[in-house]
Structure 1
Amino acid sequence: MPKINVYLPDELADAVREAGVPVSAVCQRALEQAVRRVTAIRETVLGDLDDAALAARLPGFTQRARAVLRLAAAASPGDVGTGHLLQGLIDEGGNLALHVLRAIEIEPARVTADLAARNLAEDAAGPGGGDRRFSVPAAGALELAVTEATALGHNYVGCEHLLLGLVAEPDGAGGQALRSLGAELRLTRRAVAAALAGYVHLQASQASPLDRVTTVLADLTARIERLEQRA
């Protein structure tokens, strides 16, 4: 059986040893899940997919993330590119990724305007074969979203992970638009982590998460920026 080395930060490695966590089994399980998700993305044919069909095809994706994919598919007459995915993220309207964008001072309306100036048809050039599919950059962004979710230890892929996948993907119009507006990957990752922490805190206090998370997120992001400036 091939061997794959896993490198952990010292603090995490010490905690893993102390807890006696079976690293090999955990890593194998996470990799199996990631491989299944990536394979499902590459094999997905975009037709009249309702939510049930999309959930069966991409079971790790949240309901909002699936709604984004359906909106993206509806917006493109052919294959779906990263620009369509990003516009779908904006059009869905109620996801955590939008709060993250505002927290890093990118208004969704500016993203829409930037996308309108780009050639989304070129971005949606797919792998061929006749059936409508995700373009190569779009499939790459979705695969990176899976990777980001796995790296965060999450067993689901949400809109916040999709945003990170789009920022990280180098070739598509979606990532180019986000980066041109200031969405640097490391900052966006930290903003996502802060947003998720704020969301969990607000859920625990039985507040209305999406109504108040922007305030909490702005405070946490400001703290991160102050720490970075001191460093």
Structure 2
Amino acid sequence: MPKINVYLPDDLAEAVRDSGLPVSAICQRALEDAVRRITAIRQTALGELDADQLAARLPSFTSRAVTVIALAINAARDAGAPNVGTGHLLRAMITEGENLALRVLRALEIEPAALSWAEKDEPGGGPGLRYSTPAASALELLTAEATTLGHNYVGCEHLLIGLAAEPDGIAGRALREAGADAKSVRRTVSAALGGYAHLRATKPPAGPEELTAVVRQELRPLVQRIEAIEARLA
């Protein structure tokens, strides 16, 4: 059986050894999940895009994430664009209006509706309507982000990280110029999910304003812990 080396920071490697975790089985499962998600993205990116079939082709995506992608496809089609670009994805995320990614942006003190970018075509695509090269890359990045965070689903918050991390798309440039780089978005997503779990455990579901406030509160110590870890690993 072929072997793939996995390199870990010293602290994590020691913790894994002490815990006696079945590393091979865990890595295989994580890689299987990641390959399955990325394959689904690539099959969609390489074929004709049909919004009605998205949910079946992207089974690990949440309903809101599927809605956002469907909105992006429809917007690109209606505009006669040569492909579905990162700008279409970001605009669709804002249009959907209720997803966690928007609360993450507000926690970063960025009003989603105030984001602006020059509408222009991105490279890539082909016969029929397909993803642009940056959009396909962002969608692949989001599956890796979901796996890295230990999530068994793909949501709009992962899409936001993917868009912010993708270096060539117009959406990524708009997000980074507004202060939403991949690192800060990733931290805030972790804080948002932690804050949401806390609210659900202590009181009825909160509104967007309360969740945003909790995210900011959760984010402060999280950033401090991450910076301490990064300093040790530097």
Structure 1 length-normalised TM:
0.87
Q: Does 1:150 align with 2:154?
A: no
Aligned-pair CA distance for 1:226: 6.6
Inter-partner Cα distance in structure 2 for 1:165 and 1:209: 27
- The percentage of counterpart residues that share the same residue type is 58
Aligned-pair CA distance for 1:223: 3.9
Structure 1, residues 92-123: CA drift from partner, whole Å, max 9, x if none?
11111111101111111121xx13xx133x12
Instruction: Show structure 2 runs of 5+ residues with no match.
Output: none
Inter-partner Cα distance in structure 2 for 1:136 and 1:190: 26
Inter-partner Cα distance in structure 1 for 2:107 and 2:198: 17
Inter-partner Cα distance in structure 2 for 1:32 and 1:17: 23
Inter-partner Cα distance in structure 1 for 2:207 and 2:62: 16
Aligned-pair CA distance for 1:206: 4.0
Inter-partner Cα distance in structure 1 for 2:8 and 2:110: 33
Aligned partners of 2:107 and 2:212 also within 8 Å: yes
Inter-partner Cα distance in structure 2 for 1:192 and 1:56: 26
Aligned-pair CA distance for 1:63: 0.8
Instruction: Show structure 1 runs of 5+ residues with no match.
Output: none
Match of 1:96 among 97, 100, 105: 100
Question: What SS is found at the alignment partner of 2:94?
Answer: helix
Aligned-pair CA distance for 1:158: 0.7
One-letter amino acid of the structure 2 residue matched with residue 132 of structure 1: L
Aligned-pair CA distance for 1:221: 2.6
One-letter amino acid of the structure 2 residue matched with residue 72 of structure 1: A
Structure 1, residues 15-58: CA drift from partner, whole Å, max 9, x if none?
333332211111112112211211211221454422xx212101
Aligned partners of 2:94 and 2:102 also within 8 Å: yes
Question: What SS is found at the alignment partner of 2:131?
Answer: coil
Inter-partner Cα distance in structure 1 for 2:147 and 2:207: 24
**Which residue does the alignment assign to 1:169?**
166
Question: What SS is found at the alignment partner of 1:160?
Answer: helix
**Which residue does the alignment assign to 2:218?**
220
Q: Which is further off, 164-173 or 26-35?
A: 26-35
Tell me: CA distance 1:159–1:12, structure 2 relative to 1, closer, same or farther (3 Å).
Answer: same
Match of 1:133 among 130, 135, 153: 130
Inter-partner Cα distance in structure 1 for 2:180 and 2:55: 29
